[in-house]
Amino acid sequence: MLIAQISDLHVTPKGRLAYERVDTPGMLKTAVAQLNRIVPRPDLVLITGDLAAHGEVDAYANLREILADLEIRYLVIGGNHDDARNLRAAFSDHGYLSAEGDYIQYAIDDYPLRIVAVDTVVPGQVLGSLCDGRLAWLDRTLTEKPSTPTLLMMHHAPFLTGLAHSDLLCMERVDELEQVVLRHPQIERILCGHVHRAVQVRFGGTFASACPSTAHQSSVDLREHGEDMFTLEPPGFQLHRWHNQRLFSYTLNVGDFEGPFPFH
């Protein structure tokens, strides 16, 4: 099974730039065209939150228009830039998204890898968290299929990245999450967004991994009080291949590059 992950699309309403500089819709279009060209074609695309720049109805309309060109099934979750109500309305045809309830979270059992998505968003707050209810839901949901290899999908990364800006905006209650994850060794990987850069770290007996953004990346400033900046280096996405009972993850850049050339 081959899964593509894209993240942090931050799509604006038509005619607007994010941060007065970033053409997030145009960049997503380029990423979608590239996903459509991958051979063999991924079975599924996971979109790990921050779909819209500011949760606007018009941004979701623009997003749906762009994603209409994606020729692969995709699943969405929200991020801190999303508005749960507007997101649900825009994706009302996505049956796995409950029409109501406080959180956007679900389990998908259609593939050799089980997908479990948990909602880390606290409305009105940049920082992620999990409440008692969501932690209990996650524990219960993971208990249902203890021997099915599982990808846990969430917007906020449950670890400090060393990037000062990211770490100010990370996630609360990660120790409790880690205890839940430790109880479920079938979790192959925790796939996150929010960081706007590829970062991996051990967490709860598995790997937690953040995906690049299809738009702007957070700059790598590893000083203790690093500055809050982004770059327009080539955007990225990831491919996760389930093969011989192991998950292989590849980080690729979006864009047209020279090659491939023969080695010999």
The least CB distance from residue 49 to Fe ion, in Å, is 6
Site for Fe ion in 18-57 (CB under 5 A): 50
Shortest distance, position 155 Cβ to Fe ion, whole Å: 6
CB neighbour list of residue 117: distance below 8 Å, 6 or more residues apart: 75, 77, 104, 105, 106, 107, 108, 152, 153, 154
* By the rule CB under 5 A, 141 interacts with Fe ion: no
The answer to whether residue 83 forms part of the interface with Fe ion (CB under 5 A) is no
Among 12, 24, 80, 86, the residue binding Fe ion under the rule CB under 5 A is 80
Q: Give the tokens for residue 86.
A: 């507007």
**Rounded to the nearest 10 degrees, how much is the dihedral formed by the CA atoms of 71, 72, 73, 78?**
-90
For Fe ion, the binding residue among 3, 5, 8, 120 (CB under 5 A) is: 8
CB of 173 to Fe ion, least distance (A): 17
Among 42, 55, 78, 79, binds Fe ion (CB under 5 A): 79
Nearer to Fe ion, 247 or 254 (CB): 254
Q: Are 104 and 84 in contact (CB under 8 A)?
A: yes
With b meaning 16 or more CB within 10 Å and e meaning fewer, what string describes 219-244? bebeeeebeeebeeeebbbbbbebee
Question: β-strand 187-192 against 199-203: which pairing, if any?
Answer: unpaired
CB of 112 to Fe ion, least distance (A): 29
Binding string, 214-243, against Fe ion, x = CB under 5 A? Answer: ------------------------------
What CA–CA distance (Å, rounded) separates 17 from 121?
24
Question: Residues with Cβ < 8 Å from 259, sequence gap 6 or more?
Answer: none
Per CB under 5 A, the segment of 68-76, 116-124, 141-149, 192-200 that binds Fe ion is 192-200
Residues forming the site for Fe ion (CB under 5 A): 8, 50, 79-80, 194
